[in-house]
Structure 1
Amino acid sequence: MKGPLTSSLFLSLLSFGFSYPLIKGKHNDTGTNLFSPPDPSYNDTGRCTDEGFGAMTLDDKGVMHFFRGDYVWMGYQGPSKLIKDSWEGLTGPVDAAFRVSNENNPLAHQRIYLFKDTRVWRYFDGKLDDKYPRLISQEFPGVPDHLDAAVECHKGECRADSILFFKGDTVYIYSSQEDPPLKKRQWAALGNCTAAVRWLERFYCFNGINFNRFDPVTGQVLSPRPLDTRDYFVRCPGRGHAHIARQNATLMSIKNRCSNRTFEAFSSDDKSRAYAFRGGWYFRLDSSKDGWHAWPVSHSWRNLQGVVDAAFSFENRMYFIQGSEVSVYSTDQIYIPVAGYPKPIQEEWELPGVTEVHAAFTCPHSSDLYIIKGNKLTLVDLKTRKQSGGARTIIHQEVDSAMCNVHGLYIFRGQSFYHYKNVEELLTSTQAPAPGNIASYFLDC
């Protein structure tokens, strides 16, 4: 690093587009294993007290860090370390922390900001950037010292790429993309945040050991009640929603992405968010920094329940096929159900004799919808909603799912996938390509 960017240039270059969940790494280090049997030798009582944390952030490897006093805990389990031994030039306590991402600009990508008193430290790959620490007033003009919390907010989630700084009952919203760059808000309902974090495109305010989810634009509290950090963000003996899930072997298998259970659907939307669906739950696939957490489909798509047979995206809408019905959601800042759905497949498209679907996909920047049932592929023009030509035979006798993106076409069956350059290669192939393993290639198992 030859020198720091000014705060104005830094924020103008931000391009927030991905969510970075709790843990990244081998599958036994990830959130998925919150649903696996606990290690009987593990007893990290320090993180499981009722004190809460003074700051939280993901690092550039996708691992969540929890700061309290002179110590930091890394990941959802494991012993504490002294902050001074983990972060060059810094001793505890840490007042606030956040991470930013910009894949289009390496100088602003995956930087970690840690705040203490009047200064801010910036790190990349565990090393302190040149000319840091700096005064907070130099890096973020108008933002006060001795902060309580901070969190990044991406364009589309906020009105512009921003940083939310919390002090007392005041929120300072900083973005060089707006005029003026600093705005102050009073979010009385949210209360004081002793720590804040963005995880999987959602925003959380921590007050001691409890937390609420909130809207980063309005400050509205979105949780029906405060929840305990020890049940969701860290692993503590005998606690957590995962503790309940362990009692159900089938549910554990569904939520464990590395189990041998088949996925019923794969899909990506117009914002390059990619998903794998299994048993009424889904995993996010699109970020190399993703941790792995299974969510019920209703978590992102309100009112959607049960197994998804096929899913695809077209013109800022995401379509879900379940049995003989199709549901549609608009894809803006969040997924919003489109009125009038679900409706029968035959009512949505003119498909003589088609009442169920094994797989369906669209390719980027195309209005062609391809539907697979058995070994037959049917083309539908989404502009006219009518079938185009007759069904054509493919070499795969059975298909669980299919997905098309900028990297080509993927056909999924069982634990394997088959990659084609495009639809034409699939239709003209007389022999399937060598299979790949779904779990290792798509799910980091």
Structure 2
Amino acid sequence: MELFTKTLFLCLALALTNGAPAHHDAAVDDASLPDRCDGLGFDAITPDEQGTTFFFRGSHLWEGFHGPAQLSNESFQELNDIHNIGHVDAAFRMHNIEHDHDHIYFFLDDKVFSYYDHNLEEGYPKEIQQDFPGVPSHLDAAVECPKGECMVDSVLFFKGQDVHVYDIVTKRVKTKTWSHLPVCTSALRWLEHYYCFHGNNFTKFHPVSGEVSGVYPKDARSYFMKCPNFGHGGDYKVLKCSDVKIDAITTDDAGKSYFFAGPIYMRLDTRRDGLHAFPITRSWTEVTNGVDAVFSYADKIYLIKDDQVYIYKAAAHYTLIEGYPKTLKEELGIEGHVDAAFVCPDDHTVHIIIGGTIRAVDLSATPRVVIQERPLPFSGIDAALCSAEGINVFKGATYYHYESPMTLAMSRIAPEPLNVTRAMMGCEE
């Protein structure tokens, strides 16, 4: 259950457009505090090791995509206490390859601060050149770029229209000039996309070439926060835990988890990146009316809606396999309204819940037919997920935990229901 991080239902009701993050309530009640909606932009943006994004301006920061401003030294005490500069020039999170944990680096004038778990590490602050030789001082922005998105594990440091590409392993720097890109006052890597913030606007760019695709700049107030007269935030409020309801849930072979509710799905790559919301049609354009059940198998993701099965190749961009959708009968040898489906790790059997029954279908067989059918001790299931820790079966704002598909299939009495909690899904208790 650790995969359900605290931002789930804060984002679920908010669709995204053009690959930008969901916007959230950012109203500031205290007039004495800075307002992120005033259009002045940010000095630096970085996620921490838990996936919470921090937005810095002057001596203040905003934690996450909603809530009022607070003094930076309330979260990172030494930024002002030691250096007394009053603002952060640039910041980024970097994975420590040797020690398998993340650091947050802050750059203030000619100094660099390294934090782990929000604690300043011994020996800091240092001169920037001590940690990042060849990188200039008085930076404008910085962002991590892992291997696969950049040629090698790198950090992009921005100063004016120059971009200093720092190789984390060799500690060498290559400098490029991206005159077509606005001068970035802050930068953010978010779910394999890169954003240059400038004033109240942002521009998405390619981290290797700096190429800008699409219509930019866009107003950050329509995407990274909820502001009056901007975006699509409407009157959304965080759900109470007693109101939580998901339609489907799955984890693919790459370890990415997906949660579906209405027209929206949430994707979680790792806990350090947090959960992110998208309209379902953004990734699976043919699935226009939500889903009833979803499961993953053999680098493919199966989406079930009514009596149709859509199968997509789970590559960087999901591609509907030719000839699909097909009917449940054609694909899985079953009929009826599917409430939930799951495949356990390293297994070839999909377990399908229809009403008060659970049916097992061998995915390695052709044609696929039901090999086992058993009654369940309850009906009205919304979703189910199998992991190495067992199976969680969701029913509204509660869930039931089972050790294995066998214990679920053989059960005649439902175990004690467990309540969805704030720690799991970010709802209000």
TM-score range relative to shorter protein: 0.7 to 0.9
CA gap 1:440/1:283 in 2 versus in 1, 3 angstroms: same
Q: 1:8 maps to which residue?
A: none
Structure 1 pair 59–389 and aligned structure 2 pair: CA distance change class (3 A): closer
**In 1: Cα distance, 2:254 partner to 2:192 partner:** 13
Task: Quote the offset at 1:313 in angstroms.
Answer: 1.4
Residue identity matched to 2:417: P
What do residues 44-97 of structure 1 show as CA deviations (whole Å, max 9, x unaligned)? Answer: 444333332221112345443333344444444323526695625232332210
1:357, distance to aligned residue in structure 2 (A): 2.0
In 2, distance between residues paired with 1:132 and 1:362? 48
CA RMSD of aligned residues (A): 3.7
What's the counterpart of residue 408 of structure 1? 390
Any unmatched runs of 5+ in structure 1?
Answer: 1-17, 247-251
C-alpha spacing 1:304/1:349, structure 2 compared with 1 (3 Å):
closer
Q: 1:77 aligns with which of 54, 60, 67?
A: 67
CA deviation after TM superposition for structure 1 residue 115, in Å: 1.2
2:266 maps to 1:274? no
Counterpart among 350, 353, 356 of residue 375 in structure 1: 356
* CA shift for structure 1 position 210: 0.5
1:23-422 → structure 2 map (5 Å cutoff): 44-60=33-49, 62-75=51-64, 76-81=66-71, 87=79, 88-90=81-83, 91-101=85-95, 107=99, 109-176=101-168, 182-236=173-227, 238-243=228-233, 245-246=234-235, 252=236, 256=239, 258=241, 260-284=243-267, 287-288=270-271, 294-332=277-315, 334-340=316-322, 342-346=324-328, 349-351=331-333, 353-354=334-335, 356-385=337-366, 386-387=368-369, 389-422=371-404
Distance 1:390 1:173 in 2: 57
TM-score of the two chains, using structure 2 as the length reference: 0.81
- Amino acid in structure 2 at the alignment position of 1:78: P
**Number of aligned residue pairs:** 413
Q: State, as a whole percentage, how many aligned pairs show the same letter.
A: 36
Give the direction of change, closer, same or farther, for the CA distance of 1:159–1:260 in structure 2 (3 Å limit): farther
CA distance in 1, matches of 2:9, 2:384: 24
Residues 307 and 322 of structure 1 are in contact (CA less than 8 Å); yes or no, is this contact kept in structure 2?
Answer: yes
Aligned to 1:434: 416
The answer (yes or no) to whether the contact 1:416–1:437 under 8 Å persists in 2 is yes
For 1:19 and 1:350, how far apart are their aligned partners in 2?
Answer: 29
Give 1:111's aligned amino acid: H
* SS of corresponding position for 1:241: coil
Structure 2: tracts of 5 or more residues without a match: 15-21
Offset of residue 209 of structure 1: 1.6
Q: Secondary structure at the match of 1:335?
A: coil
Contact 1:20 / 1:290 at 8 angstroms: preserved in 2?
no
CA apart distance, 1:130 = 1.4
Aligned letter for 2:345? P
SS at match of 1:349: helix
Aligned equivalents of 1:44, 1:235: Cα separation in 2: 17
Q: Secondary structure at the match of 1:389?
A: strand
Compared CA separation, residues 368 and 190, structure 1 to 2 (3 A) = farther
CA deviation map 1:21-54 (0-9, x unaligned): 9xx5898899989667967666744433333222
The 8 Å contact of residues 378 and 387 in structure 1, kept in 2 or not, is answered as: no
**In the alignment, is the contact (CA less than 8 A) between 1:311 and 1:320 conserved in 2?**
yes
For residue 211 of structure 1, what is the amino acid of its counterpart?
F
The offset of 1:443, in angstroms, is 0.7
Q: Which moved more, 1:209-218 or 1:412-421?
A: 209-218
Partner of 1:423: 405
Structure 1: distance between partners of 2:191 and 2:419? 26
CA contact (8 A) 2:28 2:69 kept: no
**One-letter code aligned to 2:314:** T
